Amino acid sequence: MSLEDAATEIDTAFTRKGYRGLAYENTFSGAASFLRRTYTKDLTGVDLAVTGVPFDSAVTNRPGTRLGPRAVREASALQAFDPPYGWDLNPMEEFNVADYGDLAFDYARVSELPARLKAHITGILDAGAAALTLGGDHYITYPILQAHAEKYGPLSLLQFDAHTDTWKDDDRSRIDHGTMFYKAVKDGIVVPERSVQVGIRTCNEDTLGVNIIDAPEVHRDGPKAVVEKIKAILGDHQTYVTFDIDALDPAYAPGTGTPVWGGLTSAQAAAMLRGLAGINVVGMDVVEVSPPFDTTGATAIAGAHVATELMCLWAHNQKIRRG
């Protein structure tokens, strides 16, 4: 594409013919879809649907993640010009990746959110697409996991996080972003012995048998050794990947609800996500981006990069499975 043609691109989220191709419109204008992908509610022929869940009513500390999907989409505009760095594939050219927009729900009827979200993700999966979800607080992963488990059966969970989110909670009516993986394990939709939580740096006496690679271990052994350990645990099992942005140290992602020092660096996270190429990813999300607590936009930028890496992990797995 010539510079003159690129300079006249605008609103490619609506004007692109089909789903594939890079986008060259100005980063500071136009419809802010994820990576300038086509906005659509028709998933016919779509391989991967990116969707937002602007929900933050389950937080224990600072709110604001309802604004996360919008901020991540806006930040991703800077990445739409080029193939993802460090990968031998370009999902934007090789797969039909679409922005499916956000989940619609009544913010005043919090109790209805789980069923609505599960149905939303089920609709994506039933259409033959995979789902990459932008949160929202971390509770949203629970209904999303339920939808995936109905299709794939019990899953391995790969979780990047400062917290295990497996605190005991047997009250089925509670919606809490710190207890949903306790419920997921108890439900049998997550298999703990072949699941891994990376970056943990808060105390929880009972982790229900989930394998823990805490932040000090990442710092001590380095991303390469951690990747090898993760792959050995996951094997070829179908895996859901969830990335809580507070896995990163607050120096890299201050805009989040429950920041904890001593976390992963952005370079460590990038190295691990790229090193994990080959795991059997069937679904993924990035959550807990809270723009009001980050005036620089760095957290949303980190979220957009994480989401892009997750897209690449999924695409790499698809190429392996399709031969």
Q: Which residues contact 216 (CB under 8 A, 6 or more apart)?
A: 201, 262
pLDDT value, residue 3: 52
pLDDT value of residue 6: 62
pLDDT at 322: 87
77: in domain: yes
Beta strands in the chain (DSSP E): 38-39, 48-53, 97-102, 130-135, 156-160, 196-200, 211-214, 239-244, 281-287
- Rg (the chain; Cα; Å): 18
Whether 5 is in a domain gets the answer no
What token pair was written down for 196? 């891994």
Backbone φ and ψ of 123, nearest 5°: -60, -40
Q: What share of the chain is helix, strand, coil (3-state, %, to 5)?
A: 40, 15, 40
What's the CATH number where 243 sits?
A: 3.40.800.10
pLDDT at 75: 98
Asked whether residue 22 is domain-assigned, the answer is no
Phi/psi of residue 143, nearest 5 degrees? -65, -30
User: Within a domain: residue 11?
Assistant: no
pLDDT in tens, the chain (323 residues): 555 566 678 999 999 999 999 999 999 999 999 999 999 999 999 999 999 999 999 999 999 999 999 999 999 999 999 999 999 999 999 999 999 999 999 999 999 999 999 999 999 999 999 999 999 999 999 999 999 999 999 999 999 999 999 999 999 999 999 999 999 999 999 999 999 999 999 999 899 999 999 999 999 999 999 999 999 999 999 999 999 999 999 999 999 999 999 999 999 999 999 999 999 999 999 999 999 999 999 999 999 999 999 999 999 999 998 87
What pLDDT, on the 0 to 100 scale, is given for residue 2?
Answer: 54
- Residues 113 and 272: their CA atoms lie apart, in Å, by 32
pLDDT on residue 323: 76
What is the domain extent for residue 163?
Answer: 38-322
Q: Is 31 part of any domain?
A: no
Structurally, how many domains does the chain consist of?
1
3-state SS, 61-93, equals CCCCHHHHHHHHHHHHHHHCCCCCCCCCCCHHH
Residue in the block written with tokens 């043609």: 5
Q: Which of 40, 187, 192, 64 is nearest to 118 (CA)?
A: 187
Let me know if residue 25 belongs to a domain: no
CA proximity to 54, closest of 75, 38, 70: 70
In a domain, 7, yes or no: no
On whether residue 32 sits in a domain, the answer given is: no
pTM of this prediction?
0.97
